Amino acid sequence: MEILACPIDKHYPLELYVFEEKEEIVEGLIVCPKCLRWYPIRDEIPEMLPDELRKESEDLPFLKKWREKIPEKILLEGKPFNLKRNV
């Protein structure tokens, strides 16, 4: 986290939300507070891909799975995908 910046607007620092933790963070969320892009941590790997490489079919289920622990702003306004239509 001490060197991670948003790949799109290069904002630093980013916010970290931990959902599941063993020796490392297994699942979690990294958020850019400036542009509201969110990046998942899955299988202990932070995925910081630009929008065009993101897959809605994989990312929406992730948001739904952890919706109780994700800030409402991200659920409703997060980029590149959010749950606004589903709320």
Partner 1 sequence: MLFMEFALWLKGEVDRSSLNVTRVFDVFAERYDAWYDKPFGKSAFNLEIACITSLYKSLKQPSLEIGVGTGRFAEVLKIKYGIDSSVGVLGFAKKRGITVIRGKGEELPFLDKSFGAIFIIVTLCFVDEPIKVLEEASRVLRDDGYIILGLILRESPWANFYMRKGSAGNVFYKVARFYSLNELEAMLQKTNLKITEASSTIFEAPTEKPLRFENPRKGCYKNAGFVAIKTQKRR
Contact between 8 and partner 1 by CB under 8 A: the answer reads yes
Contact between 3 and partner 1 by CB under 8 A: the answer reads yes
Rounded least distance, CB 45 to partner 1, Å:
6
Among 20, 35, 50, 64, binds partner 1 (CB under 8 A): 50
Phi-psi region of 10 (alpha: psi -120 to 50; beta: other; left: phi over 0): left
Count of Cβ atoms closer than 10 Å to residue 84 Cβ = 10
First-to-last C-alpha distance (Å) of the chain = 30
Return residues touching partner 1 (CB under 8 A).
Answer: 3-8, 10, 12, 39, 43-50, 53
